Structure 1
Amino acid sequence: MSQPVAGFSKLDKEEKIEWLSSQYLQDNPEAVKILKQYWNEDPKLQQLHDEFTENTISNFYLPFGIAPNFLINGKLLAIPMVIEESSVIAAASKAAKFWGSRGGFKAEVLGTKKIGQVHFIYSGEKQKLERFFNKLKPQLFSSVKEITRNMEKRGGGVLDIELREKTDSLANYYQLHCNFETKDSMGANFINSCLEKFAQVLKDEAHNWPEFNSEEKEIEILMSILSNYVPECIVRAEVSCPVEELSEEGGMSGAKFASKFIRAIRIAEIEKYRAVTHNKGIMNGIDAVVLATGNDFRAVEAGIHAYAAKDGNYNSLTHATVENGVFKFWLEVPLALGTVGGLTSLHPLVKLALEMLQKPSAGELMEVVAVAGLAQNFGAVQSLITTGIQQGHMKMHLMNILNQQQATPEEKKAIIEYFKRHTVSHSSVINQLEKIRQQ
């Protein structure tokens, strides 16, 4: 039976693996071999990876792929994508090719404001607190001058600080709601440093405010933290073309395609069971680029899904119309991204990914990421309303099935050739593989 371990973080990597093997891997030498075979051969590079997080024992690899031929605002790009799911990069690349001959993608950053909050408890008269805050506000700005100096040189900094009352939701709960501009930095550390300073000044100065009684002077700071919900840090991506240019090779007219496509999008706008899967497909494209460029995909996911529910119902992030014979398909999403700081200057593949994208600003990266999400969604919906999602997906998934069955190179070649003419399913692949092995 496994036992608790003391001082695990102080063990070196070999000792951590030895403990893990004895406690949970039945001293399996093959398991230890697998962990070690993913170590980087360069000790300095491995140390760099080890120090990205804690208690590192190995590296977890994901495929790093490229979706070429993206024409974005007149500029042709190859988009780096890190993802393990079959058909995602293929679908994005197909959509890029489709729209590349129809004017390409248009993208625009609509806002870059980010949010942070100081959450606190104040037991007293609201009017007193408001007068105190109005007097304190200039001091709050000046208190972070050392923190904001470099950011202000780049055009960023603290934009505004508001006092917000939330006592209808929680007794005596107020907050400082703060707006920031962080330029090419994602800005989490910058924002949090400012917020903690605001909290300190708020608490300290409350003791000196003559209007407060002894209880009111004791403002309780609960927490100071940025928000990953950034509804004013928005980017829009869209495509458009005359309806007749949407005609499918299978014989579907452009008008029929547009009609089916718009109704499919409409279903995602009104039916949350569909909307969740619909938006997950969008995130296939978005997350893959966010990961490749060293940004925080968990923060992006949380913020985007909150945005999808901003009106009280969870619905589609993409929308489509036909007006005056022109089909238009677009996406608006909140994206707080950075191209400086964090992993962007440390991880070798992240630096290479940003170089592939021609060293974009944070705003330009927002545009690329939004376009990847829009392209992925177009490819998915296009498949759904024509051939069905499984035809293309399962052919891409075929190699995963063959690898699971440890197929030889000769078996893979024969199976791939067979399924050029037949429908792929897990059971049909297994059956055909068994036939080949019996022969």
Structure 2
Amino acid sequence: MAKPVIGFSRLSKNEKISWLAENYLQNDAGAVKVLKQYWNEDEKLQKLHDEFIENTVTNFYLPLGLAPNFLINGSYHTLPMVIEESSVVAAASKAAKFWSERGGFKAEILGTQKIGQVHFLFTGNIEKLKAFFSRIKPLFHEAVQHITQNMEKRGGGILNIELKDKTSEMEHYYQLFVTFDTRDSMGANFINSCLEKFAEVLAEEASKEDTFSAEEKNLKIIMSILSNYVPECLVRAEVSCKVEELTENTEMTGEEFAEKFIQAVKIAEIEPYRAVTHNKGLMNGVDAVVLATGNDFRAVEAGVHAYASRTGKYRSLSHAEIVDGTFKFWTELPLALGTVGGLTGLHPLVKLALDILQKPSAQELMKITAVAGLAQNFAALRSLVTTGIQQGHMKMHLMNILNQYKATDEEKKIMIEFFTHHTITHSSVVEQLEKLRS
């Protein structure tokens, strides 16, 4: 039975692995070997990885692939994508090539505002609170001048500070609702540092406010934190072409394809069960670029899915229509991304990914990432309304199955040829591989 450990963080990496093996891995030498074989031979690089998080024992690798031929606003890009799911990079690349021959992707920034909040409780007269807030508002800016000066030099900073009355939803609950522009940084540390200083000013000034009663002076700060919901930090990506140019499938006209495609999108707009899977496909492209560029994919996911629910019902993030014989497909996504700070200056592959993208600004990265999502969504929908999703996906999955069963290069060659003409399932691949080996 495993035992609790005291002072685990003070153990060396080898000691942590020894404790893990003894308590959870039955002292399996093979398991220990697997953990250590993913250590980087470059000690300096390994130390860098060890210090990204706490209690590290090894590195967890994901493949970095490239999706070329993305024509975005008239310029070609090759997208670095980090993802473990078969067929995502291939599908994105195929969609990129398809649209590069039809004018490419268009992308534009609709907004760059990010939000932070100081949540507090105030028991007292709201009119007095409003008057108090108006008087002390300049003090908030003064208190964070040392934090904001560099950001302001780059054209960013604090855009607005509002007092929000939330007492209709929770008793005595108010907010300082603060809008920021963080330029090329994602801005989490900048925003949170400002908010915590605002909270200090708010509590201190309330404690000595002459117009407040003793109870009102006891204004209670609950927390100060940025929001990952960024509906005003928005990017739009779209593609369009004449309907007759839409299909490469000789068995379906452009008109037939467009009709089925638009109906598939409309289903995702009204049916939450479908919308979740529809949007997951779009996020395959988004997350892969977000990961490759060292951004926070959990924050992006949370914000995007909240945005998909902004009407009170979870809906599709992409939309399609035909206008005057032209097919249009687009998405609008809230994406708070950064190209400076965080891992962008630390992780060697993140730096390389940004170099591949030609050192984009945060706004340029927003456009590229939204395009990746739209391309992936288009590829998935095209498969669904034509051949079905499994045909292409299982071709890619075949190699995973063969690797799982340690197929040799010669066995892989024979199996790939065989399944060019047969349906791929996990059981059929295993059965055929066993036949081959016997």
> Under TM normalisation by the shorter chain, which class is it?
over 0.9
Q: Deviations over 1:257-299 (max 9, x none)?
A: 1000000000000000000000000110000000000000000
Which residue of structure 1 aligns with residue 262 of structure 2? 262
Which residue of structure 2 aligns with residue 238 of structure 1? 238
Tell me whether 1:187 sits opposite 2:187 in the alignment: yes
Which residue of structure 2 aligns with residue 384 of structure 1? 384
Which residue of structure 2 aligns with residue 149 of structure 1? 149
Which residue of structure 2 aligns with residue 65 of structure 1? 65
Q: Deviations over 1:239-269 (max 9, x none)?
A: 0000000123232101111000000000000
Q: Matches of 2:277 and 2:362 in 1, distance apart?
A: 28
Aligned positions of 1:214-363 closer than 5 A = 214-363=214-363
Q: Matches of 1:22 and 1:167 in 2, distance apart?
A: 54
DSSP 3-state at the match of 2:424:
coil
Q: Matches of 1:407 and 1:45 in 2, distance apart?
A: 33
Q: CA deviation at 1:237?
A: 0.2
* Alignment check: 8 A CA contact 1:118 1:199 kept: yes
Q: Which residue identity does 1:429 align to in structure 2? A: V
DSSP 3-state at the match of 2:26:
coil
Q: Deviations over 1:93-137 (max 9, x none)?
A: 000000000000000011000000000010001111000001011
Which residue of structure 2 aligns with residue 374 of structure 1? 374
Q: Matches of 2:134 and 2:309 in 1, distance apart?
A: 33
Which residue of structure 1 aligns with residue 400 of structure 2? 400
Q: Matches of 2:279 and 2:370 in 1, distance apart?
A: 12
* Alignment check: 8 A CA contact 1:248 1:257 kept: no
Q: Deviations over 1:385-409 (max 9, x none)?
A: 0000000000010001111122222
Deviates more, 1:138-147 or 1:380-389: 138-147
Q: Which TM-score applies when normalising by structure 1?
A: 0.99
Q: Which residue identity does 1:47 align to in structure 2? A: K
* Alignment check: 8 A CA contact 1:320 1:330 kept: yes
Tell me whether 1:208 sits opposite 2:208 in the alignment: yes
Q: Which residue identity does 1:318 align to in structure 2? A: S
DSSP 3-state at the match of 2:57:
coil
DSSP 3-state at the match of 2:118:
strand
Q: Which TM-score applies when normalising by structure 2?
A: 0.99
Q: Matches of 1:154 and 1:68 in 2, distance apart?
A: 32
Q: Which residue identity does 1:184 align to in structure 2? A: D
Q: Deviations over 1:2-46 (max 9, x none)?
A: 111000001110111111111101111111111010001110100
Aligned positions of 1:84-103 closer than 5 A = 84-103=84-103
Identity of aligned residues (%): 69
Q: Which residue identity does 1:322 align to in structure 2? A: I
Q: Matches of 1:390 and 1:109 in 2, distance apart?
A: 35
Q: CA deviation at 1:424?
A: 1.2
Q: Matches of 2:248 and 2:338 in 1, distance apart?
A: 39
Q: Matches of 1:247 and 1:343 in 2, distance apart?
A: 41
Which residue of structure 2 aligns with residue 132 of structure 1? 132
Q: Which residue identity does 1:381 align to in structure 2? A: L
DSSP 3-state at the match of 1:237:
strand
Q: Which residue identity does 1:349 align to in structure 2? A: L
Q: Deviations over 1:301-338 (max 9, x none)?
A: 00000000000000000000000000000000000000
5+ residue gaps, structure 2: none
Q: Which residue identity does 1:425 align to in structure 2? A: T
Runs of 4 or more off by more than 6 Å in structure 1?
Answer: none
Which residue of structure 1 aligns with residue 37 of structure 2? 37
Which residue of structure 1 aligns with residue 196 of structure 2? 196
Deviates more, 1:213-222 or 1:401-410: 401-410
Which residue of structure 1 aligns with residue 25 of structure 2? 25
Aligned length: 438
Q: Which residue identity does 1:157 align to in structure 2? A: G
